[in-house]
Amino acid sequence: MFIGGQGIVIVALSLFVKGFSGAFKMYVGEARDERVLPNVIHTSRFIWLVSIVYLILGTIALGIVGTLNGMKPINAFFHGACVFMAAFDTGGFAPQSQNILYYHSLPFEIVTIIIMILGAINFKLHYHLWMGNRREICRDIETRTLFITIMITFFITAVGLTQLGTYPKSITLLRKGFYQLVSGHTGTGYMTIYAQQFINEWNHLALVGLICAMALGGGVCSTTGAIKMLRIGIIFKALQEDIKRIILSERSIVVQKFHHIKEIFLEDKQARSALLITLAYLGLYGLGAIVGMFFGYPFLDSLFESTSAAANVGLSCGITNVSMPVALKFTYILQMWAGRLEFMSVFTLIGFFVAAIRGK
């Protein structure tokens, strides 16, 4: 999971001594469209440097918390390493079947929330933070959008949970509601509740908030899946630009900019690309929900599971299990694959097969 989170291509590129002509195409083909450094080989190595340093620090932090909670030191640090790798690479697997609920520890949950958010941040932003440019956290369109969407989706989820009185205490609401929300938004899939509790203890409004969080995802050039924050921010900026053009006089010149490491002028091709990928994800979420409903599952449950699969999250409301229909398993596998590659590689592969069948 740790290797896959950084990307298999990133592993391969890190081993090259010098660059080659197809390096950037390989890099983009694994759903990455930004270079942290001018050279793709150096970018790959930096990504691994960040990941390994965080691995050491995260394992130590989680190991200490586990030891203080009564685990044997060797087990605590082993669990810490496993949990970190799946948290930073937003994979969601844990050594115990109860997932993070097994540890029953607020400090453990806080540390994993921090790690999940680190995993959802663009590696290019990590580079600038390492270089001491910490202002980028507040200025960058991705981190701003991430903060805003987390707040909005948590507000929706919290209102839903409050209506039922599911978690009457604020600390419980944070540990059960906010934790699942961050886990879903970052595409990690860690859980501090059982899958059936989503159906039995969460109302429709709370589930909608979590589904929206899962659908949005984290930063581009990070370990997360889903639509990504940069695209959401660009679409919002494009909408602002169109509204200004409608309101202002025809003589007015409207120029929209956004800050993503540097000031960038918004172009139509950027907005079009962001919108196309977003629509492709929404279509994939909807398609999986329709297949789930075909097999008799309720709409919201089907949409929850479909979004989780296509966005590479891993949260489940109970549909995903060993006894589920084989066709639905196959559907979720395809969704996970297509969602991870962000469609461009998938479209290229489909085009290759179509061309081969036509003999072109």
Torsion sign (Cα): 240, 245, 249, 255: positive
Q: 212: which 2 tokens? A: 């929206």
Please identify which residue in the block is written with the tokens 């002509």.
21
What stretches of 175-317 show up as alpha helix (H) in DSSP?
179-185, 195-200, 204-216, 229-247, 268-294, 299-310
Give CA separation, 1 vs 5, 83, 87, 158, 161, in Å: 6, 11, 10, 31, 33
What pLDDT does 34 receive? Answer: 53
Q: From CA 322, how far away is CA 207, in angstroms rounded?
A: 23
Which amino acid, residue 275?
L
Three-class secondary structure of residue 254 per DSSP: coil
What pLDDT does 289 receive? Answer: 97
What pLDDT does 358 receive? Answer: 79
Torsion region of 66: left, alpha or beta (phi above 0 gives left; psi -120 to 50 gives alpha): alpha
Q: From CA 21, how far away is CA 225, in angstroms rounded?
A: 27
In order along its 360 residues, the chain shows pLDDT tens digits of 777 666 655 555 555 545 544 444 444 444 445 555 556 667 777 778 888 899 999 999 999 999 999 999 999 999 999 999 999 988 888 999 899 999 999 999 999 999 999 988 887 788 778 888 888 888 889 999 999 999 999 999 999 999 988 898 999 999 999 999 999 999 999 999 999 999 999 999 999 999 999 999 988 877 788 899 999 999 999 998 888 888 877 777 677 888 887 888 888 888 998 999 999 999 999 999 999 999 999 999 999 999 999 999 989 999 999 999 999 999 999 999 888 877 777 777 777 778 778 776
Torsion region of 359: left, alpha or beta (phi above 0 gives left; psi -120 to 50 gives alpha): left
Q: 102: which 2 tokens? A: 């097994």
What pLDDT does 31 receive? Answer: 44
Q: From CA 276, how far away is CA 282, in angstroms rounded?
A: 10
What pLDDT does 20 receive? Answer: 47
Q: CB burial class (10 A; 0-12, 13-18, 19+) of residue 356? A: exposed
What stretches of 89-202 show up as alpha helix (H) in DSSP?
106-119, 123-130, 136-139, 141-164, 170-172, 179-185, 195-200
Domain boundaries, the chain: 1-119
What pLDDT does 304 receive? Answer: 96
Q: From CA 169, how far away is CA 175, in angstroms rounded?
A: 10
What pLDDT does 24 receive? Answer: 44
What pLDDT does 5 receive? Answer: 63
